[in-house]
Structure 1
Amino acid sequence: MTSQPKFALNHMTAPRLDCRAFLDLAASLNCVGVELRNDLADKKLTAAPFFDGEHPAAIGAYARAKGLRLLGLSEAYGFNAWSDSMRDKVQLLIEQAAEAGAESISLIPRNDAPVYAGNERDEALRQALSEIMPMLDKAKLIALIEPLGFVTSSLRHKADAVASIKAVGGEAHFKLVHDTFHHHLAGERDFFPAFTGIVHISGVVDPSLAPEDMQDRHRVLVDDRDRLENTGQLRALLEAGYAGAFSYEAFSTEVHTSSAPAASLRQSMEFVVTNLAR
């Protein structure tokens, strides 16, 4: 029998809630933890600054008082195009994670269809990892690398991320995000449970979409119409020994504007649990 999944929430799933209301929602659903994001205002999903303008330590303390782990802070986008400004961005996120008591930060690759020559792509990724690794070591944090399955992505496959992690000796500092949406888009077959730090789950239900046409805006909660084979992916990870969290990350306006987010999420969680037990 497949083990019971541990659910979590990514703030993207309920961006209209302030941090404390979002943490209340996660606690009401018996989640093990949450992921907070610094890009919600940039995406015009909220007018509030990161941590709602509170000190990160205050939000971290509130999470722990609710019995929640602060699983991670997102994100440092474009980390594999290293520069002084990227160093500053990563350092700030590390400092905020340390202040809040978060367990990780998220690193997101470029998604602008870059054209690389020769081994330039791998060299850029390894340079960034080599620069970030001592920063993580000093703060006693790990970073989660999330390959994006879009055809425009500079890092589509988890296997490439794992190869670069190994090349720089970063096994103790870097883990992967296994995102069921991006796994499907990239046409990946391999799973890396030992390298996986967290799993993001969402569903796509529109039957008219080809994989290459699926975008973040199509990502809803997982139900019986799901086209991403979430149940199969989750079962494969659990059976291979993955014991971490499964964090809901839905980008669809339909989810964001739900009048009953707790009920919708609870229904989706029950669907996942029931199907994993079959």
Structure 2
Amino acid sequence: MPALTFALNHMTAPALTLDAFFALAVSLGMTSVEVRNDLDGNAILDGTTPSEVKSLAERHGVTIISINALQRFNEWTPARAAEAKELIDYASACGARALVLVPKNDGTGQAEGERQANLRESLTALKPLLEAAGIIGLVEPLGFEICSLRSKREAADAMKAVGGEQTFRLVHDTFHHHLAGEPDLFAELTGLVHISGVEDPAVAVSDMRDGHRVLVGPQDRLGNTNQIKALLSAGYTGPLSFEPFSPAVHDVADPKAAVAQSVSYIRETV
């Protein structure tokens, strides 16, 4: 089985400046990071230029494996096209390897036929933009029942239908994989794995939300370590990126110790 490689998503410690976040990753022995465009008062929303982000990453010796994310990517409009171009240009200029693509998650666009057509339209439009910039598009199905793209198989089929096997990759998110209830892994098409756990014993799977997502530990209900084992056995060799959304994680006094404890648990269990 290949060695485990961990990465850090800025959502793990969203209050940290980008400089402090990169330093945290390095202190944990991680050289891969995900930068977000949805954190108020932080890059990218605070106006930090891509060249500043690139120089910070170089100074810390980290690789930006993704900008997270282009939201509602499978609802292609002129505004979405402009937003995509802007984010892809930013990703390219700051040295990021990929852009995460998140589907609309509001109960619309779910109809059979409609959602597949919307997905292919968006991938077709994104493909030349990503290829021109040398950026990978990371398609992330969400397991929520109201999401317009829950199935990795549907995403994989669409990627192949538009000839995008070299341009697009799947995100396997352990939280969303559990919620979607889709057994297939598609390790050969997976470019990134997001990891987080849910420990609250009272919440039903259908009621699990981002706020329940904590670091992976012994009380995890999502079967993270089994998912990771299965992905590695199927040939996945990329990073496992921590992406907890819970305020309980964001408020910890010592994020380094908290993440290190989760890393140790995963290493011992996988």
TM-score range, shorter chain: over 0.9
Name the CA distance, whole Å, in 2 between partners of 1:63 and 1:32: 9
Instruction: Confirm or deny: 8 A CA contact 1:51 1:59 kept in the other structure.
Output: no
Name the CA distance, whole Å, in 1 between partners of 2:111 and 2:248: 41
**CA offset at residue 52 of structure 1?**
4.5
Matched, 1:144 2:138: yes
**CA offset at residue 241 of structure 1?**
1.1
Secondary structure of the residue aligned to 2:156 is helix
**CA offset at residue 4 of structure 1?**
2.1
Instruction: Confirm or deny: 8 A CA contact 2:10 2:36 kept in the other structure.
Output: yes
C-alpha distance 223-117 of structure 1, shift in aligned 2 (>3 A): closer
**CA offset at residue 118 of structure 1?**
4.5
Matched, 1:198 2:196: no
Name the CA distance, whole Å, in 2 between partners of 1:48 and 1:64: 18
TM-score by length of 1: 0.94
The residue number in structure 2 matching 1:235 is: 229
Q: Root-mean-square deviation (CA), in Å?
A: 1.2
Q: Percent identity?
A: 46
Aligned letter for 2:14?
A: P
The residue number in structure 2 matching 1:44 is: none
- The number of aligned residues is 270
C-alpha distance 242-174 of structure 1, shift in aligned 2 (>3 A): same
The residue number in structure 2 matching 1:160 is: 154
Name the CA distance, whole Å, in 1 between partners of 2:139 and 2:180: 15
The residue number in structure 2 matching 1:248 is: 242
**CA offset at residue 115 of structure 1?**
4.8
TM-score by length of 2: 0.97
Aligned letter for 2:254?
A: A
Instruction: Confirm or deny: 8 A CA contact 1:19 1:51 kept in the other structure.
Output: no
Name the CA distance, whole Å, in 1 between partners of 2:109 and 2:131: 32
User: Structure 1 segments of 4 or more deviating over 4 A?
Assistant: 115-118
Name the CA distance, whole Å, in 1 between partners of 2:264 and 2:43: 33
45, 54, 61: which one aligns with 2:55: 61
C-alpha distance 80-15 of structure 1, shift in aligned 2 (>3 A): same
C-alpha distance 57-51 of structure 1, shift in aligned 2 (>3 A): farther
Give CA deviations for 1:212-259 in whole Å, capped at 9, x if unaligned. 010000000000000000000001111111110000000000000110
Name the CA distance, whole Å, in 2 between partners of 1:116 and 1:245: 31
Name the CA distance, whole Å, in 2 between partners of 1:48 and 1:26: 17
Give the gaps of 5 or more residues in structure 2: none
The residue number in structure 1 matching 2:181 is: 187
